[in-house]
Each structure stands twice: as C-alpha cells, then as structure tokens.
Amino acid sequence: MRPDDVGLGGFDSHTLPPAGLALRVAVLVLCVAATAFAQKPDSVGLKASSTDTVPQASTRVRKPFVAPPISPRRAFVYSALIPGMGQAALDRKYTGAVFFLIETMSWALLRRSADDERIAKAFVGDSVPQSYTIDPGTGLALRDGHGNPVVATWAQTRYTQDLVRARALHVEDWVAVILFNHLFSGADAYVAANLWDLPQHLGVRAAPLRGGGAAMTFTLTFR
C-alpha cells in the first residue's frame, strides 16, 4: 500500500532521479570546483617571482654605442691625402706613425732613384778615356792645340740604355709604393672608424693549459 493512500502525506520514490545520474552530477560539480580553485592567482608564487634575483636575458645591460671622433669618410680622406693623419685623429698613433714613416722613406728613395735616372740619361752613350798618348822625351801626356791631353784609347761608360730603363723602373716602383700607401692608409682609417666601438665588445683572456703553455680566448658581443 502506498503511503499517500492512507493519508500519511509521504512522497513517491519513483520521482527521485536515478542513483547513477546523481553520482555523475556530483562528480561534475567537484571537477568544476577544483578547476576554479586551481586557477586562483598564487600570491606566494607572485611574491617569489617579484623577488627573483636570477638575471634574465632581456635585462642584460648593453653598452651604448660610442661615435668615432671623425666619420669614416673623413678618416679615409685624411689618410688618403696624408698617410697616418686619419689614424692620428682616431687615436691610433702607432699605426699612423708607421704609415707616415713609410711615406717619408718612399719619397726619399723616389728622389734618389730620380737622380740616378737623370745621371744615367745624361751620360748614356758617352765614353771615358782609358789611356793617353805619352811623350817619349818627357814621359808626360801629349796635349793638343787647346791644351787638352791626347787620348790614346777610349772605353764606353756603364751608363747604357739598359741601365736607363732599369732606373726608370725603379722610379715607377717607388711611385706605385707611394700611391699604394695612400690608398691602404685611407682604407685602414675608414675601417677603423667603422669599427670604433668594437674594442668595447671584444674581450681577450689568457688561460693556462694542463699540459703546459697558455691559450688565448676571445669573446665578441654584438649589439
């Protein structure tokens, strides 16, 4: 007999949901609550990350770019006109002194080669007295009507056309050395001005080896 038939005001057990469905709903509610709890901000983790002292790659301090005293184009012009001038403006005194020394020595040797060529051209084809006619009575050289000694034999000088051509080549070689020194000095100053900031990012360190000796290590950092 059903309880409502006797007027007890009970309930019908068939109106309740099945036991399996209720269990599934309960599990789903628990999963949603656990997910929401897991997504809450962790105040402890945020605090630890704010006080983290581990350096990050994005916070690395970069050295500022240092502009050269003169522009690369001006450095090239300076050294192309006067070798070593651009290097001196870039505070590379020793390198500039080497270029200037090469320039002065080349000009000195060019002048000497030019003098040798001039002398060779002046005396080419000439001959020199090898012996004179001797007066048997006095043992002295006979003289002509102008008072000059009479030459018995002549010898050709060493100033030939081949020697003239050789000395002309010497002059051309020293001219080429001077021009090359001007161009190379200008190119060196141009590159030095472009790489003015390189020494700030280039590191050199010496380290001993286990088997003896030492090794050099280089580190290069790009901006």
Which of 213, 218, 221, 185 has the alpha carbon at shortest distance from 78?
185
Residue 167 is predicted with a pLDDT of: 92
Asked if residue 43 is part of any domain, the answer here is no
Residue position matching structure tokens 């005001």: 9
Higher pLDDT, 87 or 129: 87
Same domain, 96 and 169: yes
Q: Is 2 helix (H, G, I), strand (E, B) or coil?
A: coil
Q: Is 43 helix (H, G, I), strand (E, B) or coil?
A: helix
User: Does 151 have pLDDT greater than 50?
Assistant: yes
Asked if residue 4 is part of any domain, the answer here is no
Asked if residue 216 is part of any domain, the answer here is no
Same domain, 89 and 136: no
Label residues 7-16 b or e (16+ Cβ within 10 Å = b). eeeeeeeeee
Asked if residue 221 is part of any domain, the answer here is no
93-109 mean pLDDT: 94
Per-residue pLDDT tens digits for 182-222: 999 999 999 999 887 765 555 667 777 777 777 767 665 54
Asked if residue 175 is part of any domain, the answer here is yes
Residue 184 is predicted with a pLDDT of: 95
17-38 mean pLDDT: 55
Same domain, 118 and 84: yes
Residue 54 is predicted with a pLDDT of: 47
> How many separate domains does the chain show?
2
Same domain, 192 and 141: no
Asked if residue 13 is part of any domain, the answer here is no
Asked if residue 34 is part of any domain, the answer here is no
Residue 205 pairs in a beta bridge with 217
Asked if residue 11 is part of any domain, the answer here is no
Same domain, 193 and 139: no
User: Does 1 have pLDDT greater than 60?
Assistant: no
The parent domain of residue 145 ranges over: 125-158
What pTM did the predictor assign? Answer: 0.53
Residue 219 is predicted with a pLDDT of: 65
Same domain, 130 and 148: yes
Q: How many CB atoms lie within 10 A of CB 152?
A: 13
Q: Tell me if 140 sits within 8 A of 115, measured CB to CB.
A: no
- Give the pair of three-digit tokens for residue 146: 């102008």
Same domain, 103 and 177: yes
